[in-house]
Amino acid sequence: MDESAQIPAPTGAAPGPAPGARRVRLPKPVLGAILEHARAAAPAECCGALIGQGAGADERRVLRALALPNEDASPARYRIAPALVRAAEAEAALRGLEVVGFYHSHPGAGPVPSATDLEWAWPWYTYVIVDVSRGLARAWCLREDRSGFGEEELVGGEGAT
């Protein structure tokens, strides 16, 4: 394993990523920006797009977190306007990158997907969920059959823009 350590799972959380799980590189400055956004948005959930490389690959590299407004301004759910998702895709494409996923916070709850997350997620994206109070993050991908989420291996890394 390289020098970047896996971001720790919270105590009492479900087991970590299964062997062979997709690796998601999330540089510390990008994670820091996500956590800062989460703290500023609390007690509502924050949300945003993960811009990077490797959509559809065994490894994704997040290079930027693009903060987006939570249309619901709720502590229990987030909603990103479709026009903002398209704008994020266009901005990423201008840089030769892509939207590889989305992030959001769970104020007062652990960084594990909720029933609402299961209902609204798409299986081809990475979802980084942060626990604001403990400063923890975990990455997830919805299974193709939509039966639940599989945890992805979240590691630090270089390359933030």
Closest CA to 116 of 101, 131, 106: 106
d(Cα 105, Cα 66) in Å, to the nearest integer?
14
Residue 89 designated active-site: no
82: left (phi over 0), alpha (psi -120 to 50) or beta: alpha
d(Cα 46, Cα 29) in Å, to the nearest integer?
17
Q: Which of 3, 36, 45, 119 is catalytic?
A: 45
Q: Provide the annotated active-site residues.
A: 45
